Homo-oligomer: A and B are copies of this chain.
């Protein structure tokens, strides 16, 4: 079913106010949750809202806390998230990175003791809206085995790279796992095969069987050994730059709370030359002959924009059962 955007947002806000969020914080959090669903990232919009409420009630997420500065050297700052709402901390950090980049060309914020930021791409869109290149990543609880290993020891550490563009920002939002656990569970419950291998079965063979992959816990990182290495270095950067919890510490704590994140902004030249270069790259990419009649070549963020427009026009697609749950909160 479809719900008007403002109704979705109002419902989130109502629940957050009942949890003693201030009006400003309830408004900001509700907006992010509603926008995530509006943009088609339902897993980190409506569908995740009940879990977020659970984390607030359980004390993992502390609505009253604000980020505090721990250190600054030039255009590099360390902040402490104090276990506040991850989306608000992340939005704050990207705003600081934007300010630093506007002062110094480039700026970097590392934050420790923050919480799940929901959709990673949110903060890429934020930087791009401000006319800046945005790069951000987070560590997570361990959910991928390192290359050559059987047990999960690496996070899927989502990485975002966003480039501002007049006709629609380019926003890459990729986790290091080929498919998320949520996606694997979706395929498992539908009894459908994954379109492409997403992990290993119990015998160590590449597999498209989501149920078998979830059982073996051997979820595939992008590019096999390459994604394994990329996940490790992103955790190193987030942890070292913030002085915060690593994937190791988060996993050992038993709950995905108090994660570490990095936000980098870079100020590109504005003006016609930049615009032309971006359009040249996108146009050239699209000259590749499509694989088949159904396939089309799109840049990262292009489909998000289409989904956004449709969801704003026709109402945001919601899972009826979860919508009922939220209305009952």
Chain B nearest CB from A90 CB (Å) reads 19
Query: A154, A230, A287: which has the most chain B beta carbons within 10 Å?
Result: A230
Chain B nearest CB from A162 CB (Å) reads 8
A290 touches B75 (CB 8 A): no
Size of interface on A: residues with Cβ below 8 Å to B: 84
* Residues on the B chain within 8 Å of A290, using CB: 148-150
* Residues on the B chain within 8 Å of A146, using CB: 285-286, 288, 297
CB-contact partner of A288 in B108, B150, B170, under 8 A: B150
* Residues on the B chain within 8 Å of A168, using CB: none
- Interface 9-residue window, one of A61-69, A237-245, A311-319: A237-245
- Interface 9-residue window, one of A6-14, A44-52, A274-282: A274-282
Query: A153, A267, A278: which has the most chain B beta carbons within 10 Å?
Result: A153
B-contact bits for A14-43, CB 8 A (1 contact / 0 none) = 000000000000000000000000000000
- A84 at the A/B interface (Cβ < 8 Å)? no
B280 touches A246 (CB 8 A): yes
B-contact bits for A284-318, CB 8 A (1 contact / 0 none) = 11111111100111111000000000000000000
* Residues on the B chain within 8 Å of A246, using CB: 277, 280-281, 284
- CA–CA, A288 and B228, complex, Å: 13
Query: A76, A196, A269, A288: which has the most chain B beta carbons within 10 Å?
Result: A288
- A118 at the A/B interface (Cβ < 8 Å)? no
- CB nearest neighbor in B for A241: B268
A151 touches B247 (CB 8 A): no
- A233 at the A/B interface (Cβ < 8 Å)? yes
* Residues on the B chain within 8 Å of A284, using CB: 153, 246-248, 251
* Residues on the B chain within 8 Å of A104, using CB: 73-76, 104
- CB nearest neighbor in B for A224: B196
B206 touches A196 (CB 8 A): yes
Closest 8 CB pairs of A and B: A222-B223, A76-B105, A149-B288, A74-B104, A248-B284, A74-B105, A148-B295, A229-B300
